[in-house]
Amino acid sequence: MASTNKKLKSLTSMASFLLLAAAMAGTTNADAGFVSRTCQKTKKATQCVSVLSADPDSASKATTESDLAGIALRLATATAGDAAAAAIDELAKGNPPGTPLGDALGACRGAYFNAAGVLKLDARQSFDGGDYAVASQLVAGAGRAGAECDSAFPFVGVAPAPELMAKVDRDMTERCAIAEELIELLVGRR
């Protein structure tokens, strides 16, 4: 029984590694290994690799944990800004303020506008200045924009949220969580 458990654990570890390496397709094996090793230090290693693979060119050039945290912060910022705005604008066509969907989208617009500002200005400045603890807290707060947006839809009687917006909300939550964890790896360093 113990031998079977060891074999199963070994197979599970190998499968996890292969999944992480496959997610980093397009980077060299050494780069994928660095990303994988760094992501293994987070609570959600598979999600970490998945998030960083959204920008494989940058991830393949990263040489430090700080580089990877900076990439994750940039991806979260892009989600809060461009991705959220594009989804909201698309869904707002024919759904002006004063309609249930228009009102929910207005709440989303406000949540993402605030999150984008915090990420672009405050979190980036703290990160670039080496104040990683503050940057991590700011990213965590900005990550709540996805949940705020999601909750706006049932509040106005539109449930569930349209899939396009729900995807942005999931991406925002995930990308901020990974950026927060990667930044936390740097706390105490300068």
Domain chopping of the chain, boundaries: 2-61, 65-184
CA-to-CA dists, residue 88 to 107, 111, 142, 170, angstroms = 10, 12, 17, 14
pLDDT at 16: 43
User: For the CA atoms of 147, 150, 156, 159, what is the dihedral angle to 10 degrees?
Assistant: -140
Is residue 45 a contact partner of residue 53, using CB atoms and an 8 Å limit? no
Query: Once rounded to an integer, what is the mean pLDDT over residues 73-92?
Result: 96
Residue 97, CB-side half-sphere exposure with 13 Å CA sphere: 5
Residue 148 in this model has a pLDDT that exceeds 50: yes
DSSP code, position 188: T
Ranking 5-19, 92-106, 147-161 by mean pLDDT, the lowest is 5-19
In the three-class reduction of DSSP (H, G, I as helix; E, B as strand; rest coil), residue 32 is classed as helix
Q: Under CATH, what is the fold of the domain 65-184?
A: Butyryl-CoA Dehydrogenase, subunit A; domain 3 (1.20.140)
| DSSP H or E stretch at residue 84 | helix 84-92
Full-model pTM: 0.82
Here the tokens at position 51 are 């998030």
How far apart (Å, rounded) are the C-alpha atoms in residues 145 and 72?
17
Residue 97 in this model has a pLDDT that exceeds 70: yes
pLDDT at 189: 75
Residue 129 in this model has a pLDDT that exceeds 70: yes
Q: What beta strand segments (E) does 23-150 contain?
A: none
DSSP code, position 143: T
Residues in the chain: 190
pLDDT at 111: 97
The confidence band for 161, taking pLDDT boundaries of 50, 70 and 90, is confident
